[in-house]
Amino acid sequence: MARIGIIGSEGAMGHALAHVVAASGHELAGGIDRGGDPAGLADASDVLIDFSVPQALDANLHAAIGAGIPIVIGTTGLDTSHRDAIDNAARVVAVLQTGNTSLGVTLLAHLVREAAARLGPDWDIEILEMHHRRKVDAPSGTALLLGEAAAQGRGIDLAEQSERGRDGHTGARQEGAVGFASLRGGTVAGEHSVILAGEEERLTLSHSAENRSIFARGAVRAAEWMLAREAGRYTMEEVLGLQ
């Protein structure tokens, strides 16, 4: 049994995590939200799960480092400075950061990487995602995770070879680019499709999230797995034994 601390406890994911922690037989060490004390929570925990906001990431990482415990980060909307901070923290403690903690999405990313590598650059890749009306970032963290998987399979830099928000006279599609399209509406928990379009054939790899509990279950499984890890940066694929 582990003591699991939740950062972002008052959000929808925070509530889902609390239920899954209780059902899994672990102890909920506590939870904090905006204005809370991450250091105090870390001191009372064996592992932290962070589903808060990018602005809180530095303080949350410092709390994990101060307590010498692992941290699972599911917060999306991170930029380069956040990723650098995660890399620095991973020199001291075990850190797992992902755009999606779903076990199904983790396997999907693995399949996307394989498909992109084996089908080659003459197959166009488009990523379509839809989320609830209240989601504030686009493309979603999951869409970017899938885009990175496709780019790794192709051996390209996603930042340099992606197309987003096409509108008006855009010209022909950039050869080898990964395209993104984002839809928002209703209460959709998460829909993602990766379309690989070749000459006269098309392959679609998809995942549908029916409830946020799938992300909570994956995050708790990752937290369990992280308890035995040394300092370093880890992935959900490693949790599933795919790397």
Catalytic positions? 131, 135
As given in the structure block, the two tokens for residue 206 are 């998809």
Residue 89: closest CA among 115, 128, 50, 123:
50
Alpha-carbon distance 38 to 62, whole Å?
9
* 124 φ, ψ (degrees, to nearest 5): -75, 140
The 10 Å Cβ neighbour count of residue 197 is 16
Q: What angle do CA 164, 130, 105 make, to 5 degrees?
A: 95
As given in the structure block, the two tokens for residue 115 are 């498909």
Alpha-carbon distance 234 to 162, whole Å?
25
CB 66 within 8 A of CB 44: no
Residue 74: closest CA among 217, 242, 238:
217
Side-chain half-sphere of 240: how many Cα atoms within 13 Å? 16
Instruction: Work out the widest C-alpha separation in the chain, in whole angstroms.
Output: 58
